[in-house]
Amino acid sequence: MPAHTPPPSSGDLFGSPDEEAPWDEPIAPGAVLLRRYACARAPALLAAVKAIAAAAPFRHLITPGGQRMSVAMTNCGAQGWISDRRGYRYGPRDPLSDQPWPAMPDILAELAREAAARAGYADFAPEACLINLYRPGARLTLHQDRDELDLRAPIVSVSLGLPATFLFGGLQRADPTRRFPLVHGDVAVWGGPSRLAFHGIAPLRDGLHPATGDSRVNLTFRKTR
Ligand code: SIN
Ligand code: FE2
C-alpha cells in the first residue's frame, strides 16, 4: 500500500463520511435504542413513505374522546392502525378510500426485522407499519401500545428527520418517565418486560432537517395478531 493511502474511514463502510457506525444504547430490560441504525437507508425509506402517502394521505385521526390528534398518520402493510369515535383498532383498509392500505415495501419490512434481531428479537414479522408525521408542536402523550393481540413481538420505531424527545416510563402510568433524544436514523426497539411500557413524544420543536424539512417522520412496526 503506498504511504500516502489514507486509512479506511467510516465513509468506506457506511456510505458517506458523515454517517457514523450505529451503536446500541440499552434503556430498560428488553428495550434498546439502536443509534443511527437507519441512517444509511433513510433516503430509500423516505422515498417509500412519499409513495405510500400519495396513495394513502396523512390525516389527523380523532380519538375516541373526540380530540383531533396533533400527529398526522397513515399506514402501510396488511393492517393499519386507526382511531375514531368508535375506538382504537387495526383494520385492513384505509377508511378514507376504502382501499387496502398500501403494501409494506420490502425495504421497510427488512429494516424492521433486522433492527428487531439486533435488539434480541428474532423473526419479527410486522403486519402493520404506522407512519407518523410530526410538525412543530405535534406530540404524542404518554400511552401504551396495547391494541395488538400478540404481545410477545416487540415494537420497532424508526425516527427520521427533525429530532424529538422520547418519553419512556414504566408499566404504570405514574412511574417515572425518562427523556431520550431521538435523531434522524435512530431506531427504538422495546419488547419483553418493556413491551407495555408507557411512552410518548414531547412537543416537536421548530427546525429544518435536510431530509424532511420542517417535520419528523416516525415508522412504527408492529405484529398485530
Ligand atoms: C408511537 O408511540 O407510536 C410513536 C413514537 C414515535 O413517534 O417515536
Ligand atoms: Fe406508541
Which pTM value belongs to this model?
A: 0.92
pLDDT at 17 (0 to 100): 53
pLDDT at 18 (0 to 100): 55
Is any ligand 1 atom within 6 A of the Cβ of residue 199?
yes
pLDDT at 20 (0 to 100): 81
Helix/strand/coil for 64: coil
CATH of 24-222, one of 2.102.10.10, 1.10.10.10, 3.40.50.12160, 2.60.120.590: 2.60.120.590
Is any ligand 1 atom within 6 A of the Cβ of residue 158?
no
pLDDT at 16 (0 to 100): 57
Q: Which atom of ligand 1 is nearest to the CA of 164?
A: 8
Ligand-binding site membership of 90 (annotated): yes
Q: Please list the ranges in the chain whose pLDDT falls under 50.
A: 1-12
Q: Which helix (H) or strand (E) holds 132?
A: strand 128-134
DSSP letters along 13-36, please? HHSSTTPPPPEEEEEETTEEEEET
List beta partners, residue 129.
76, 221
Ligand-binding site membership of 88 (annotated): yes
